[in-house]
Amino acid sequence: MSLIAKEDSEIVVRSRTYRLLQPRILKEVYVERPLREREVVVEPTLASICQADLRYYNGQRRKEALAKKLPMALIHEGIGRVVESRSSRVQPGERVVIVPNLPGCESLGIDPEDICPACSKGIGTNYCTRNLFLGSGTDGIAQNRLVLPEECAIPASDSIPDEILVLAELCSVSYHALSRVDRIREEDRIVVFGDGPVGYLTAAMIHHVLGVDQERLWVFGAIPERLDQFTFARRILVNEYDFRSGEKAGVAFECTGGRYSEDAINQAIEILHPGGVLVLMGVSEDYVPINTRDVLEKGLTILGSSRSSAQDYYPVLKAMEDPECQKTLSRLLPEQKTPIYSVDDFAKALDTATQRKVWNKTLLEFHW
């Protein structure tokens, strides 16, 4: 049984959870959580492995971060079925997208004078310092019963296949980055740096949500085989473009992260015209030196964008109903899903994903 009725009539959910105890050591445990009003219980069915999951699994985060966050169940990209509901908005049996950014100040009913700086400035609920994020500080999707606030379980149209729908979280992060730019003029060229999944999905959202065509949407990458996938954009090998003297852009998205982010950020600074906007999306564990002289002389705006919130999913889900968008997103899919029946299967999937150097996502098909 997954639901337990206590003596005081409190409903408690018992969840079979695959927890990461320390790098590369996973254990199946059972965790009990209360089910409150306006919450739902979701059984995850399909999920996707993110580089963030692999950084935790392989101990590539700073030691103090690992000590603070482990033990913890991984995975934050996923979908599932509602198995129990104390919400009028979401019903048992519905297929839902799982929103991993669990709201803080707004949902906790905190007095206005006590809300966090992010919420008081209205920069976005996903920057709330009291938020919890699945698979990063609290147990993620690798469990058979996930208790969520009703707003974090979003029903989706039956016209969207499961394997496309599971990409909604990544797409919502890209959409949120677009929303950070107050105004994109019709004549602005938009450039994306990065030929990995983040760059691909960001470019896909620019094309399918904003309607930007190939003339105005350029993608810079280093691997020809990956760039070939960006059929809806102009594709340019990064080492073949003269950033100082070539044509300029109005908005740039840096989606590389890691050791390549320094080059990408500085190339973006070079290609932007005066007054341009640079949006940083790539994650790096190290400090990155940038050309501040050009930032100042051009009057550039640099924005950081991280994660997303429930409101970012709705434009994404609308776009996903379009067969052309589905066709674009399907290029990221693997030839087959990875079935997960046990914690050992889960560990093997993470090991395989660590070793793989291919472009496609790894999809986990949970069998609880």
Same structural domain, 293 and 320:
no
Same structural domain, 164 and 179:
no
Rounded Cα–Cα distance for residues 15 and 10 (Å): 16
Residue 8 scores a pLDDT above 60: no
pLDDT at 194: 94
Same structural domain, 254 and 163:
no
Exposure string for 263-290, b = 16+ CB within 10 A, e = fewer: bbbbbbbbbbeeebbbbbbbeeeeebeb
Same structural domain, 23 and 58:
yes
pLDDT at 46: 98
Strands 77-85 and 39-48, sheet pairing: antiparallel
pLDDT at 80: 98
Same structural domain, 163 and 26:
yes
Domain count, the chain: 2
pLDDT at 109: 65
Residue 235's CATH number: 3.40.50.720
Cβ within 8 Å of residue 98, ≥6 positions away: 42, 44, 76, 78, 79, 80, 134, 141, 146, 148, 152, 153, 169
Residue 98 scores a pLDDT above 80: yes
Same structural domain, 22 and 145:
yes
Domain limit, last residue, from 279, 304, 329 = 304
Domain limit, last residue, from 273, 304, 335 = 304
Residue 327's CATH number: 3.90.180.10
Average pLDDT of every residue of the chain: 91
What's the predicted TM-score (pTM) here? 0.90
Contact 349, 49 (CB under 8 A): yes
Same structural domain, 203 and 149:
no
Same structural domain, 40 and 97:
yes
- Determine which of 73-87, 176-190, 335-349 has the lowest per-residue pLDDT on average: 176-190
Q: From the centroid of its chain, how far is CA 289?
A: 25
Same structural domain, 155 and 178:
no
Domain limit, last residue, from 264, 281, 304 = 304
Residue 108 scores a pLDDT above 80: no
User: pLDDT tens digit string along 269-306?
Assistant: 999 999 999 999 988 878 889 999 999 999 999 999 98
Residue 97 scores a pLDDT above 90: yes
Same structural domain, 294 and 330:
no
Same structural domain, 131 and 28:
yes
**What's 197's DSSP letter?**
H
Residue 86 scores a pLDDT above 80: yes
User: pLDDT tens digit string along 163-202?
Assistant: 999 999 999 999 999 998 987 777 789 999 999 999 999 9
Of 314, 319, 303, 315, the residue nearest 127 (C-alpha): 303
Of 102, 99, 84, the residue nearest 43 (C-alpha): 84
Question: Residue 279 is part of which domain span?
Answer: 172-304
Which of the four pLDDT bands, split at 50, 70 and 90, describes residue 113?
Answer: low
Same structural domain, 13 and 162:
yes
Residue with tokens 């990209």: 77
Question: What integer is the mean pLDDT of 342-350?
Answer: 98
Structure tokens, 89: 């908005």
